[in-house]
Amino acid sequence: MGFSPLAKAQNLAVVPIMETQRSRAIEIHKNQSILAWQITDTLNLPFFEDFADNEGFPRKEFWTDKQVWVNNGFPMGAPNQNVATFDHLNQFGKPYSSLSKNYSVYADSLTSQPINLQFYKIGNTTYPYKITDNVVLSFFYQSMGIGDQPEPEDSLILFFKGINNQWHKVWGVSGHSRKPFEEIFVSLNKQEFFIPDFQFRWVNYTKATGNLNHWHIDYIRMDKNRFKGFNDIEDVGIVTAGTGLCFDYSNIPYSHYRLNKNESRGNGAFVDVKNLNEAATVQTRYSLKIFNQYQQKLFDQDFAMSSRNILPLADSIERFNTPFFDTLSDPTPSLSYNFIINPQSNDLTPINYGAKKDNNRYTLNHQFQPWYSYDDGSAEGGFGLDYAYLGNIKGQFAMEFNTLSNDTLRGLSMYFTQTKEDVSFRSFRLRIWKKLSPIGGKDIEDELIYEFPVDRPIYRDSTNHFAYFFFDTAIFLPKGTYYVGWLQNMPYILNVGYDNNYRYQGKDQYNPHLFYNLLGSWERADYSIKGTPMIRMMFGERANYLFSTPKIEKPTVKAYPNPAKNFLTVESINAVVLSVHILDAAGRLVKIADQQNHIDISLLPSGTYYAKVFTVDGRQNSVKFHKL
CATH top class, domain 236-372:
mainly beta
Average pLDDT over every residue of 201-224: 87
Average pLDDT over every residue of 406-434: 87
Q: What are the angstrom distances between the C-alpha of 116 and each of 32, 44, 66, 109?
A: 19, 5, 22, 21
Q: What are the angstrom distances between the C-alpha of 135 and each of 45, 132, 163, 224?
A: 9, 8, 17, 4
Q: What is the per-residue pLDDT for 39?
A: 65
SS3 assignment, position 511 = coil
HEC sequence for 303-350: HHHCEEEECCCCEEEEECCCCCCCCCCCCCCEEEEEEEEEECCCCCHH
Min mean pLDDT across 54-58, 337-341, 607-611 is at 54-58
Distance from the first to the final alpha carbon of the chain: 37
- pLDDT per residue as tens digits for the range 348-362: 999 999 887 889 999
Q: Residue 392: CA atoms inside 13 Å, Cβ hemisphere, count?
A: 2
With bands split at pLDDT 50, 70 and 90, how would you rate the model's confidence at 304?
A: confident
- pLDDT per residue as tens digits for the range 549-580: 455 677 889 999 999 999 999 998 888 887 78
Give residue 148's region: left, alpha or beta (phi > 0; psi -120 to 50). Answer: beta
Q: What is the per-residue pLDDT for 590?
A: 84
- pLDDT per residue as tens digits for the range 486-498: 999 889 888 898 9
Sheet containing 496-499: which strands, arranged edge to edge? 381-383, 496-499, 532-533
Q: What share of the chain is helix, strand, coil (3-state, %, to 5)?
A: 5, 45, 50
Q: What is the per-residue pLDDT for 95?
A: 65
pLDDT value at 13 more than 60: no
Residue (of 241, 493, 524) closest to 376 by Cα position: 241
Average pLDDT over every residue of 214-225: 96
Count the Cβ atoms, other than its own, within 10 Å of residue 120.
15
Strand (E) or helix (H) holding 122 = strand 119-122
Q: What is the mean pLDDT of the chain?
A: 86
pLDDT value at 528 more than 90: no
Q: What is the per-residue pLDDT for 29?
A: 38
- Within 482-572, residue ranges assigned H as helices are none
**DSSP assignment, residue 114?**
P
Measured CA to CA, the distance from residue 381 to residue 404 in angstroms comes to: 29
pLDDT value at 300 more than 90: yes
Q: What is the per-residue pLDDT for 336?
A: 96
Selected residue with higher pLDDT from 620 and 1 = 620
Average pLDDT over every residue of 267-294: 96
Residue 367 contacts residue 333 (beta carbons within 8 Å): yes
Cis amide leading into 491 (omega within 30) = no
Residue 449 contacts residue 433 (beta carbons within 8 Å): yes
Residue 390 contacts residue 413 (beta carbons within 8 Å): no
Residue (of 273, 274, 277) closest to 346 by Cα position: 277
Q: What is the per-residue pLDDT for 102?
A: 63
Average pLDDT over every residue of 87-111: 73
Q: Where along the chain do its domains lie?
A: 9-223, 236-372, 381-545, 557-627
| Amino acid identity at 255 | S
Count the Cβ atoms, other than its own, within 10 Å of residue 91.
17
Residue (of 396, 526, 514) closest to 448 by Cα position: 396
Residue 529 contacts residue 562 (beta carbons within 8 Å): no
Of 18-27, 256-265, 551-560, 603-612, which has the strongest mean pLDDT? 256-265
pLDDT above 70 as % of the chain: 87
Residue 610 contacts residue 582 (beta carbons within 8 Å): yes
Residue (of 469, 474, 449, 448) closest to 458 by Cα position: 469
Q: Please name the fold of domain 381-545.
A: Jelly Rolls (2.60.120)
- pLDDT per residue as tens digits for the range 469-521: 988 888 999 999 999 999 998 898 888 989 999 999 888 899 999 999 999 99
Strand (E) or helix (H) holding 618 = none
Measured CA to CA, the distance from residue 513 to residue 523 in angstroms comes to: 11
With bands split at pLDDT 50, 70 and 90, how would you rate the model's confidence at 585?
A: confident
**DSSP assignment, residue 505?**
G
Strand (E) or helix (H) holding 51 = none
With bands split at pLDDT 50, 70 and 90, how would you rate the model's confidence at 617?
A: low
Q: What are the angstrom distances between the C-alpha of 403 and each of 81, 486, 531?
A: 33, 19, 20
Q: What is the per-residue pLDDT for 93?
A: 62
Average pLDDT over every residue of 404-418: 92
Selected residue with higher pLDDT from 101 and 342 = 342
**DSSP assignment, residue 115?**
B
Compute the CA torsion angle 43, 46, 52, 57 (nearest 10 deg). Answer: 30
Q: Residue 484: CA atoms inside 13 Å, Cβ hemisphere, count?
A: 22
Compute the CA torsion angle 397, 12, 176, 89 (nearest 10 deg). Answer: -60
pLDDT value at 432 more than 90: yes
Are 381-545 and 557-627 the same fold in CATH?
no
* CATH among 3.65.10.10, 2.60.120.260, 2.60.40.10, 3.10.20.740 for 9-223: 2.60.120.260
SS3 assignment, position 411 = strand
pLDDT value at 20 more than 50: no
- pLDDT per residue as tens digits for the range 319-350: 999 999 999 988 999 999 999 999 999 999 99
Q: Please name the fold of domain 557-627.
A: Immunoglobulin-like (2.60.40)
With bands split at pLDDT 50, 70 and 90, how would you rate the model's confidence at 620?
A: confident
Average pLDDT over every residue of 518-529: 91
pLDDT value at 256 more than 90: yes
Min mean pLDDT across 30-44, 158-172, 226-240, 570-584 is at 30-44
- pLDDT per residue as tens digits for the range 167-203: 999 999 999 999 999 999 999 999 999 999 999 999 9
Selected residue with higher pLDDT from 18 and 471 = 471
Average pLDDT over every residue of 290-295: 94
- Biggest CA pair distance of the chain: 86
Rg (alpha carbons) of the chain, rounded to whole number: 26
